[in-house]
Structure 1
Amino acid sequence: MAGCFHCIWNAITNFIKGAMILGPKFPDALVHRIFFVMQVYLTNGWKLSFTHAAAIMNFWEGMSLVLPLFLQFLADTFLGNLLVALVSTISSIVGIGMVALSVPGILDHYDGRCPRAGVQSCVNHKQEALFFTGMVLIAIGRAGISFSLDALHDEQNAVSNCWQKFTTKYLDFAVWRYKLAIYLVGSLLIFIFIRKWRLLFGIPAVYSACMGISFLCGSCCCFYTHPKPKGSPLSSACRVLYAAATSKNISQPRFFHRFPRCFNRVLASEGESPDNVRTFEQQRVETARFIVQMVPISMTFLVCGMVSSIGNTYFVEQANHMNRRVGSWNVPLLALQLPVLLFKLFHDMWLGLIFKYGKKRLPIDLAVTGIALAMLYSVLCCITAAGMEMKRLKVIRRYGLVDKPDDEVIPMHAAWLLLQFFLLAGLDSFLRTSILEF
């Protein structure tokens, strides 16, 4: 009886611990939804040019995608997932708070630097410093949260019995449902009906602080275990690569068909004890081989990333100047999140089924095929976007809107852009699923 009670208590503790660890992921998803219209915020609220605003957003997006590799190396080699998760959570909380304070009409209302009539288009140096510092902190937080919380959750449940495994599966299902609710209900019921930028940034700032404090309280109370870092595969691959490049062993490689063949020089022979300096075990060599093979494939990620960045900048700016009325309701720009999310869910659903059941039945490499299809989607997306832009320019010339102000509404409905958003969602789903499978 005591053993059963102990199992139930451990299961409840694991459930609470997992909820506290994964909590900061949800405000991070909420911030990601808001940044869908950050391009419009910079052009309308800050009165920046399209090129300037797009450069800011593309640089931020690129930084948030590159930083996980560096932070993952630090977590695996020196700091551990718990410390990286703590720093990332604090960085995300402070960052979104600073961006919320940088909105025109908050700080300048107290120091009187901006007149009331132009408060929506006036930004002082204090707000600029807050905004750019906050964007950097959000990028660091987003990069760390993207991997550290899941890894920390797995570490806490590394040793578990049947009750704890059941609890972990139930928690994963609850997390999936909660994340879906945040993506759909949050985007529709909160963002669509909020027109003030200070509320659009302020609500996620408060929510992020609440979930982050919950996670930090668990750390302060020593609620989480802190396993030592086990070492990074990247550092091991670098040692193997250096040893292979400087090796003078010219013996016949055992796996002549495997690329790169020079790695076979440092592979420890049968019965030989690897010294991890000049000779290595097969697992380390295969890991280094995989990383080197990923380099040419990763070049395709740059093309897909450039097309994806267009969706968060140029596509949103297109919709901002087009007719978005449905009957008497002028649909807010954030309402475009609904079809985009539905398109992503559609692609993720059938892609997950194909990768799950077709891996052993189809005579093709699904990961490589998925990356190729992502490239195809990117080409089709660019062709479709170019066609829609030509149509939009014809409408502008037809109605004599070339010399009109930028806030003039073009008499062309934003529904014409749904096809390119559909292709963009397919591109993101194919690329993400294929990378994980690869």
Structure 2
Amino acid sequence: MLSFVRIFDLTWADLLARYAMWMMMLYLTNVWKLNFTHAAAIINVFWGLMVIMLLPMQFLVDAFMGNYWMLLVSSFAYSAGLGFLTMSTPPVLAKATGTCSLYEPECIGEGQKILFYTALALIALGLSGHLISLGAFIAEQFSEDVLGNVTTCSFIAIVPIGAVIAITYIRLWSIRFGIPAIFTMVATLVFLSRSGSYNCVKPQGSSLSIVFRVLVAATSKMFCKCPKEADRLYETRGVDDVDLLPHSRHLRYL
């Protein structure tokens, strides 16, 4: 049960970070005083960045890192991102940056803006990593009986849902963003505390590696002269169950 909770508490980071991003539209329009179009553009860039990261991060998991290391890196990215997001609110660094502490656009300096956009990038990294590796890592650790235990799953879900309900009644944005940051850091440290007991499956290699090899080989042959005789090409012949397409002048570098 405890091992199950140590891994599943990372779902808290997902839920609370998603809730923080759900509140982001309200934060940008009410505190930064951005119009709806500008605020929506920032949020759309965030989600677009998250989606773009999925493919290269999946390649890293399959070829080099494995699910455990991707979860660890993305969890720390979550924690740092939510921490920077909290620090970007006006009251937190008001004395250090020489700005006011009100939730008004004139109280948001360049330092807070840099922290804010850095936070969005780190949260996108954390979200992408969890989407790729969290479910796969959980499946590597436990049997279907444990994963299907309704009581255990209900226990895991109650804590973050309760936190989300509590955040709804908080008006200070520093605390609204601070609670997910604290929860995420605690979840990451709890996950890290039992690192030696996890079943870490080694990377098996990525199918994208084959695609990249083909692209590199094809690109390197773009400037090679294609022989006029087809029998000088490297290809398999004499196999009954293989139907070779006739040669054409298109894409000759392949």
TM over 0.5: yes
SS in structure 2 opposite 1:228? coil
Deviation at 1:120, TM superposition (A): 2.7
Q: Does 1:169 align with 2:148?
A: yes
Instruction: Supply the distance in 2 between the matched residues of 1:253 and 1:91 (Cα, whole angstroms).
Output: 54
CA 1:44/1:155 → structure 2, altered by over 3 Å: closer, same or farther? same
- Per the TM alignment, residue 132 of structure 1 is displaced from its structure 2 partner at its CA by 1.1
CA 1:181–1:255 in structure 2 vs 1: closer, same or farther (change >3 Å)? farther
The corresponding residue for 1:133 is: 118
| CA shift for structure 1 position 98 | 0.7
How far apart, in 1, do the equivalents of 2:73 and 2:168 lie?
32
1:89 equivalenced with 2:75 (yes/no): yes
Given the two structures, how large is their TM-score scaled by the length of structure 1?
0.47
Secondary structure of 1:80 counterpart? helix
Q: 1:235 aligns with which of 194, 202, 209?
A: 209
Q: Are the equivalent residues in 2 in contact too, given 1:101–1:107 (CA < 8 A)?
A: yes
Q: CA deviation at 1:94?
A: 0.9
Counterpart residue number, 1:218: 194
Q: CA-to-partner distance for each residue in 1:238-289, whole Å, 9 max, x for gaps?
A: 5578899x96457899598xxxx97xxxxxxxxxxxxxxxxxxxxxxxxxxx
Cα 1:182–1:19 shift into 2, 3 Å = closer
Distance 1:250 1:58, change over 3 A: farther
**TM-score under structure 2 length normalisation:** 0.77
**Counterpart in the other structure of 1:72:** 58
How far apart are the structure 2 equivalents of 1:25 and 1:44? 29
- Matched AA of 1:55: A
| Whole-Å separation in 1 of the counterparts to 2:211 and 2:12 | 34
Aligned length: 231
Q: From 138, 142, 148, give the equivalent of 1:153.
A: 138
Cα 1:32–1:247 change in 2 (3 A) is farther
Q: Residue in 2 aligned with 1:403?
A: none
Among 10, 35, 51, the residue aligned to 1:24: 10
Provide the C-alpha distance between the structure 2 equivalents of 1:182 and 1:61, rounded to a whole number of angstroms: 26
Q: Does 1:120 align with 2:104?
A: yes
**Are 1:24 and 1:208, in contact at CA under 8 Å, matched by a contact in 2?**
yes
Q: How does 1:266-277 map to 2 (within 5 A)?
A: none
1:330-345 matched pairs, under 5 angstroms? none
Superposition map of 1:5-44 within 5 A: 15-44=1-30
Q: Compute the RMSD of aligned alpha carbons.
A: 3.1
Q: Quick check: 1:142 aligned with 2:127? A: yes
Q: Name the CA distance, whole Å, in 2 between partners of 1:252 and 1:243.
A: 24
Report the counterpart of residue 379 of structure 1 in structure 2: none
Amino acid at match of 2:200: H
Question: What letter is aligned with 1:129?
Answer: I
Mapping of residues 285-364 of structure 1, within 5 Å? none
Could you tell me which runs of 5 or more consecutive residues in structure 1 were left unpaired when the two chains were aligned.
1-14, 158-163, 263-438
**Residue in structure 1 matching 2:37, options 47, 51, 73:** 51
Gaps of at least 5 residues in structure 2 are 219-232, 246-254
8 A Cα contact 2:8 2:156, kept in partner: no
Report the more deviating stretch, 141-150 or 15-24.
15-24
Distance in 2 between residues matched to 1:34 and 1:218, nearest whole Å:
28
Aligned equivalents of 1:135, 1:249: Cα separation in 2: 51
- Does residue 191 of structure 1 match 2:184? no
Query: Contact 1:91/1:141 (CA < 8 Å) preserved in 2?
Result: yes
Partner residue, 2:46: 60
Question: What's the counterpart of residue 365 of structure 1?
Answer: none
**Deviations for 1:335-382, whole angstroms, at most 9, x for unmatched residues?**
xxxxxxxxxxxxxxxxxxxxxxxxxxxxxxxxxxxxxxxxxxxxxxxx
Q: Which residue of 2 aligns with 1:200?
A: 176
User: Per the alignment, in what secondary structure is the counterpart of residue 148 of structure 2?
Assistant: helix
Give the percent of matched residue pairs that are identical in Structure 1 and Structure 2.
32
- Contact 1:45-1:104 at 8 Å conserved across structures: no
Displacement, 1:233?
Answer: 2.6
Equivalent runs, 1:94-113 vs 2, <5 Å: 94-108=80-94, 110-111=95-96, 113=98
Which secondary structure does the structure 1 equivalent of 2:17 belong to?
helix
